[in-house]
Structure 1
Amino acid sequence: MINWQLDYDLTRYNSFGFTSHAERFISVTEIDELELALSDVEANNWPLLILGGGSNLVLKERIPGAVIHIANTGIAVLADDGEQAIVESAAGENWHQFIGHLLEKGLHGLENLALIPGSVGAAPVQNIGAYGVEVSDCLHSVTAYDRQNKELVQLQNASCEFSYRNSIFKSRFPGRYIIWSVRFNLSSIFTPQLDYSGLGNFLAGKGIEQPSAIEVYTAICEIRSSKLPVPSEIGNAGSFFENPIVDESEYRRLKEQFPELVAFPESMGRYKLAAGWLIDKAGWKGAKQNAVGVYDKQALVLVNHGDGNASQLLELADAIKQSVCERYQVSLRIEPRIYPI
């Protein structure tokens, strides 16, 4: 028997801090609880939202049907030969705290993803990335509950179909798999990933030429803190728009028209444009509209100034998208999930 909580306040479960209420809610820590909750959902044909940390989510005021919060915990080293290790984390673990735990254990590979908000289980869905590293670079496999076949399955890295801010969980089979735990391939030997110029320059500015793992971790935290607001102080979901990827001809057109364009080369002759630069130069940095706005230190971040709501935020996002499209002929895509659609 599942004890659903009715008309449940989700304000603390979304990093924008929007007032939102679920028709019914339950937090699960065991797989049998999840299965029972899903049985209720299917028997009643309720719409379902699986909730992790709520840091990549825009919640509207009323959430129909059911919300299941994944709150399992636990971290285990499954294999360690002194050089390489496989570590498994429960989906409900906090992502940043998980990286801190790995650092204490001397296990490396994910330092560049420090201070990204959210849960471990949410990381593969979006294939989170920052400062030259994506979670798929170190991911071994994902253990997930398959709603179609009603069983736990293990998906290896290749089966997750990772790409830029995308995966099988987000695009091809949204809603089918509920991530329960994630395994990572990590190294006891630290090799700094300094391909992102801003990180290398930051460390060089401190006189650090051969950084340790803790120095990279600390630098990442300092850089992110200087650019991004703390959700508990200013509601936000981090980067609100994906960085557009264009082909070489489109890049050259833009570079000729806007010589200061910020872009990064990708594979197959493509380029990733800095969406924050596009938005900033279109005049949106620091803009306010109703009770929401664009963060004054990073134009890629939209914020809730205290009593905003999803409708106001999406209205602002649409205005930004239209402005960027008119100025650059480039389309922006919203990164967080909007729920309900």
Structure 2
Amino acid sequence: MSITFDPSEWLSCGRLFPQGCPPKIIQDEIKHLEAMPLWISISTPSPDLSVDTLLNLSINLAFDDIDKGSVLRFFSQQSALNDSELLKDFLSCPVSSFALSSELRQLFGQAWFDGCHSIIHAAFPTTPLPLWVLSYWYSMAQVMVARWESADNDGFIVVMEILNVLGCLPWDVRWKGFGAEGSVRSSELALLLADSKINGCLIDALIMSVVHKYMLSDPENCSRVAIKPLALSTALRCDASQWKEYATHNAFKCLRYIGDCLHDGTLQCVIFPINITNLHWAVFEVNASQQEILYGDSLDWTCPSADIDVMRCWLKQHSFKPFRKALGMPHGDQHDLYSCAVAALNTIHHAIFQDHCFLMM
């Protein structure tokens, strides 16, 4: 085969598109086909725009998704119009929804291999558009999702002080928190005010903010209490084969250090969040001075005994006798399905700063 891309060797030949890792000449050709012209790319909102600016942009609503079985009708074997031949009001035409544009991107490779050269807009079925239109639809669909997650959120209306802050932030850039574990995208901050799950990156960023506050407020005693991110609970949940190599396995480097500090008395306790069945955030405290393990759960779920057993095995590696399971950590009461992350953070705050416990009205 030739080094440069030859359509006759790849297209309309009955080939299956290599979904896993296409050859480089295929990847390069796809990048060329998906590349938006400059006048289009500069019209898509930059991730550096503030949330206020993003919400005030005039963007057309997505047209409705179609049945899954008919998605391929968006692809056409007709030759696409040249960029100069596009409709004058192309940028004002409705774009596809995020779900539809995502599916079209997944089907693009095989449709291209099958001889499709253009995209058909549902509103203009006789106008074959260039394949880069998929990139444009997908980019704009991402923007609309971000707008909906922000604008449809009651918290952005009720908590005006937070809106004033978030409104000045770029809508989708990576922010560095307090420490390497604290990296989070600004678009993820909206989850704090939404009826949706909080991801691990955001939990870690919040945890590191508590650590930073604790170090500033009580520098003399902060070394006695460790507040750790999710890496600690992840290490505790390593499989049995890894635990057999506890003394040397890199996965336990953090646990070995904390265990040694608990044993020699330089550390009194460690507090950390933990995820329960991929649904719920709770908090554990391992207190060496009292030889006990405490659990704080805003839904008052039963303390996960498997995690307690693993912690006892971990502490045994550092010559501790089994810690008793003490009464639960003081915590707030949660009455919905999505406030557990805020409640878990508040449980840690209460343990360190004696803040009021989380209370849902």
The higher-RCO structure (CA 8 Å, 6+ apart) is: 1
TM range (shorter): under 0.3
The TM-score, its normalising length taken from structure 1, stands at 0.28
